[in-house]
Homo-oligomer: A and B are copies of this chain.
């Protein structure tokens, strides 16, 4: 058992521990990044071998018999710590306690279950055979409920998991949020479907040479003021962003020959994530407070750039001459207006990942309702497909033809991520509220129309990015917006925008 001479020595130990955690996270992040960008196809086994060892060693940096001694010593001497160190101790204590609350054998059993479940889910999805997957989902739901009891027996199980994925999020907040969406968006989506405006986006599916699309990515990243000396772009199947530290961020995209906008919006979206990381506070480097504070706030940054900036009339007008010059034949008969409409085509559909800005959150709302009911016991996993299909009909007006395009479409539940979906949609809502606040300081529309994004990025840096993980999501919203989270900014934004696009009356 370790003993500490003084607080200084214990703080040094704490910093060293976090530096090691950062290093191991960098190394395993690197292995992951390589695996989905440059690695040859048949190299999974050797990488799995390495990652198993690295992640076990990494886990032991935090979870060992010395850590509680260190953390308890620092908690006892909390008054001698500076503010950031206090936060680090709090954060690490929480992480450590969580790992010790779930009995090791149950944790191992669950890992084995998830491994099997993901494998079976893959097969079930291909065959569109929910019955194959149902017994696994039933066990996952049961374990999720049981583990919630270990983590915080005082809270309702679903609240425990919402909080795991988006700190301080509760069903109370989420219910109010989704109720607002339901009331405002379901009617709006129906109106849009009946609009006389019919959007033809066929020009965006002409042949767009990959090398020119690559050039366009560089252009977008420059306009977004992304520092290329600290941020690279690579190609992958499913685009994502990864940060090894605040000075080394990688975004990825996927180029499709007959789809101009797919990679374009991937780059803008991932660029938003990248800016959050690149602009984080220097003082948090190599500590547990580095990096974005939550999935929801992260998504607010990516969606801010993708939708609020990227799909705006002003930015479309700014990009138009560049695109017309880069792709003269494909853009021969394309007007600014046509480009704006093409990237804002809204249409209820079956698949979440392909949904447009207007209908996206409906997909999340459906999943939220289903998760809530499964965790409360109100909905049996056996009845999931029927309920899924009923909600898709009710909210989006679409008929689900099979489970492959229905409740088997996402991998999340097979990986045990119940409570994760809401943060995707919250990001959108946060971003609309941020826009409202930003507009008090900046002429956002004028800047966007000029492609002058620097003041916008600076505003986000000052109000969001620089805090890294040192503030929780609700604190960030308060700092940013001078009020608590309010869902109506998001629905107002969507109503205003899509009424304009689809020329809706009243």
Contact = CB atoms under 8 A, between A and B. Distances in A.
A258 interface: no
A45 B247 contact: yes
A132 interface: no
Chain B CB within 10 Å, residue with most, of A27, A38, A211: A27
Interface string A240-255: 0000110110100000
A42 B286 contact: no
A5 interface: no
A238 interface: no
A448 to B, nearest CB: 27
Interface string A13-43: 0000001101110111011011001111111
Contact count band on A: 35 or more
A54 interface: yes
How often does this chain occur in the complex, in copies?
Answer: 2
A44 to B, nearest CB: 9
A206 to B, nearest CB: 21
A63 to B, nearest CB: 16
A473 to B, nearest CB: 26
B232 A53 contact: no
A205 to B, nearest CB: 24
A382 interface: no
B49 A230 contact: no
Given A19-B53, A49-B23, A53-B23, A230 B30 contact: no
Interface string A35-71: 0011111110111011011100100000000000000
Interface of A: 19-20, 22-24, 26-28, 30-31, 33-34, 37-43, 45-47, 49-50, 52-54, 57, 211, 228-232, 234, 244-245, 247-248, 250, 285-286
Given A19-B53, A37-B38, A43-B230, 16 more contacts: A20-B57, A22-B50, A23-B49, A23-B54, A26-B46, A27-B28, A27-B30, A30-B31, A34-B34, A38-B38, A39-B248, A40-B230, A43-B244, A46-B248, A47-B248, A50-B244
20 contacts: A22-B49, A22-B50, A23-B52, A23-B54, A24-B53, A26-B50, A30-B30, A33-B34, A38-B38, A38-B232, A38-B234, A40-B228, A40-B231, A41-B229, A42-B229, A47-B248, A49-B286, A50-B244, A57-B57, A211-B211
